[in-house]
Structure 1
Amino acid sequence: MPTFQTPLSPELERQARRRAGQQTGWLVHATVFALVNAALWLAGHRGGWLGLPTGGWLIGLLIHGAVVWLRPQGQHLHQHLLTRERRRLAGQEARRLP
């Protein structure tokens, strides 16, 4: 995968890294949600108590995803997301310059 070569201002670089980190964090959150809840359901859910924490966590995961707006695209996800954010922010910066 080619790396992004155009330098950004320090502020835009910080924003790009923060956004890529948030998007990677959502993917980790979703993976942990799936693994933990699959294990709980496989272990048995007698009494119907499992729906409440699973439902609450699912709502949190959906809200997290809505805030981050993650589109996973294969290997090296963090690098891909960082490159995408750098390009987006560079375009914003170019539009602001006279």
Structure 2
Amino acid sequence: MQDFEEKDRYKLAKKRVDNERGFYTHLSFYIVINLIILFINTHSENQGFRDWSQPHLYITPILWGIGLLFHGLKVFKNNFIFRKSWEERKIKELMDKDDTLDVL
């Protein structure tokens, strides 16, 4: 019975790691592709940095960023930073370390 529970825990942990890796891959592509788009748009012969009011400079990062936000919320919904459980875990971690309490 315990072996079965261990396999289930492993499968859930593996799925969680796969989801986080997928999010970080998505984030990496978002950063790289948008930097390339910005570089191409700002180094074109006719415009350069002179005209930042063009909407095509912002549409892709904004719309893709919204999709990335939803992807991140889906992946990290249970572990969203600064939740109460995170605070309690961090307090316990700091209390376990002797050298961190003398900072004050």
Task: Answer whether TM exceeds 0.5 for this pair.
Answer: yes
Partner of 1:67: 74
Residue in structure 2 matching 1:21, options 18, 21, 27: 18
**1:60-80 deviation per Cα after TM superposition (whole angstroms, max 9, x unaligned):** 111111111279xxxxxxxxx
Equivalence map 1:29-68=2 (5 Å): 29-44=26-41, 47-68=54-75
TM-score (norm 1): 0.57
Question: Greater RCO between the two (CA within 8 Å, min separation 6)?
Answer: 1
CA contact (8 A) 2:41 2:57 kept: no
Q: Offset at 1:26?
A: 0.6
Q: Offset at 1:54?
A: 1.6
Runs of 4+ in 1 over 2 A off after TM superposition: 45-48
**1:8-64 deviation per Cα after TM superposition (whole angstroms, max 9, x unaligned):** 522221111000110011111001000000010011166421312221100011111
Runs of 5+ unmatched residues, structure 2: 48-53, 81-104
Q: Secondary structure at the match of 1:50?
A: helix
Q: Quote the sequence identity (%).
A: 22
TM-score (norm 2): 0.54
Larger Rg: 2
